[in-house]
Amino acid sequence: MVWVWLLAQALQQKYGHKLVNVSEVGANVSRTIAPYWQELQTVLQSKAGFISGIYITKSVKPGMLPFLAVEDGVIATTINIPPNTDLEYSTAFNLFSPNNVLFYDGHLGILQADERHLWIINESESEYNIQPMWTEVCNALQAMPSGVYEDPLYPDVPFRTMMIGKDGLESRVEAPPKSAVLFQYKCELSDISRVAILPLGDRYQQNSSTTVVFETFPKYFHLSKLF
């Protein structure tokens, strides 16, 4: 396959690689790279010089994964390459510098791209649940401006909205295994309404019935469910 050969030729630098779909103009043919495509994986293993880890594309586009994972010299992530597309990827650790690493424990990295964007990079085989009770992460995110951040590529995926206040992280987000998730500043915290469920203990039990208390503050909506 000619395009496989051209792809292999494009992967010339050890730490920066290109995925090129050279389908003819007008053909409108997307290419899906998957771990089971053995012909391609064999070429990559022998020609590309991949190192294991997470690679991030330099041009993030809606509807496309902004990353790929490499294991043992081959691509371990299924990604779709639109026709006539030239995507350049770089290893995630190229983004790490003393000035932008907010948190790193050897598996999970949180990087400040700029004042309005941050990356959460999970290099492990397990999902990470990132929540305010994780003190180190919560405190690290104080470096970001307060506000609401969301994944601009997949905003409807659960736990892809991050709220950061003056004391750090105020909401739960999830980082899938071997992934990189981009978060982008959306608005101020005061621009949204939030719901809190506050357990207050058995002292509010009223003959097995449920009491619901609504407490309203400026720009906030608190819901307390009492038993």
Given this model, what pLDDT does residue 220 score?
Answer: 36
**Three-class HEC string of 46-70:** HHCCCCCEEEEECCCCCCCCCEEEE
Question: 10-residue block means of pLDDT along the chain (227 residues)?
Answer: 44 46 54 83 79 82 82 85 78 79 92 92 93 94 95 90 94 93 92 69 47 40 34
Of 181, 45, 69, nearest to 124 (Cα)? 69
Backbone angles phi, psi at 73, to 5 degrees: 85, 5
What is the β-pairing status of strands 79-81 and 108-114?
A: unpaired
Given this model, what pLDDT does residue 28 score?
Answer: 63
CA atoms of 21 and 167, how far apart (whole Å):
45
Q: What is the pTM of this model?
A: 0.71
Given this model, what pLDDT does residue 38 score?
Answer: 86
CA atoms of 156 and 4, how far apart (whole Å):
34
CA atoms of 224 and 227, how far apart (whole Å):
10
Given this model, what pLDDT does residue 147 score?
Answer: 95
Given this model, what pLDDT does residue 181 score?
Answer: 94
CA atoms of 8 and 76, how far apart (whole Å):
17
* Packed helices 38-47 and 2-10: angle between N→C axes, nearest 10 degrees: 30
Given this model, what pLDDT does residue 201 score?
Answer: 57
- Give the SS3 label for residue 92: helix
